[in-house]
Amino acid sequence: MAVAIRQAQPGDIPELVEMINGFAARNLMLPRTPEAVMKTLPDWLVAVEREIEGAETILGCGSLVVLTPELAEVRSLAVHERGHGKGVGSLIVENLVALAKAREFSQVCALTLREEFFQRLGFEIVDRWSISPKLWQECIYCPKFHRCDEVAVMKHLTIRRPEEANPGKVVTANPLLKWQAWQPLKLAYSYKPIHLHEEE
């Protein structure tokens, strides 16, 4: 049986919510309601195992959340126990990154307890406080909000834009300008802001 990635469908929602909320009960992620998933269904991908007869078994899921015009977040990444050891998590993240590229985002980030997993997929650890505040909007509902143990990771994307005059030129994403530039964590802690004072 082969593992495939496809867009989530309305009929998947009850099983996705049950799987996600099972992890949420262990404080591993935030819970989701069927209404919330339905509202953002085009942004959800599921991993399924397809049998010869055509039946499918859901192994995992993940969603892509817009934070800014340049930045998207991998959120609600969950893999059922029956999907462990099959590379399901990697397949979901890789396809979410591909979706972000197709939508022309410059960067993809995530908050995770398994930073090594994301590092294997080309993400790097970054200073969480350099992320757009929109990333933290849901965090206030987390029981670990005041003692968060999650690590922020980010991946720069390379996008080929059709309007580029040089067909051989590849546009590489630059750090965000609205917030402190994304950077490896060891550099983030050495950053010293410069305070400018206007002359009276």
Q: What is the pLDDT along the chain (200 residues), one digit of tens a residue?
A: 688 999 999 999 999 999 999 999 998 888 899 999 999 999 999 999 987 777 889 999 999 999 999 999 999 999 999 889 889 999 999 999 999 999 999 999 998 989 999 999 999 998 877 776 666 666 666 666 556 668 889 999 975 555 544 444 444 444 443 344 434 433 333 333 433 344 43
**Do residues 19 and 57 touch, judged by C-beta distance below 8 A?**
no
Please give the model's pTM, rounded to 2 decimal places: 0.75
Residue 162 belongs to a domain with what CATH number? 3.40.630.30
The total of structural domains in the chain comes to 1
Q: CA-CA distance, 73 to 78, in Å (whole number)?
A: 14
35 inside domain: yes
Pairing outcome for strands 151-156 and 124-125: antiparallel
Structural domain harbouring 149: 2-188
197 inside domain: no
133 inside domain: yes
98 inside domain: yes
Phi, psi of 50 (to 5 degrees): -100, 130
The partner residues of 95 in beta bridges, in order of sequence, read: none
194 inside domain: no
123 inside domain: yes
pLDDT at 184: 41
199 inside domain: no
196 inside domain: no
pLDDT at 11: 96
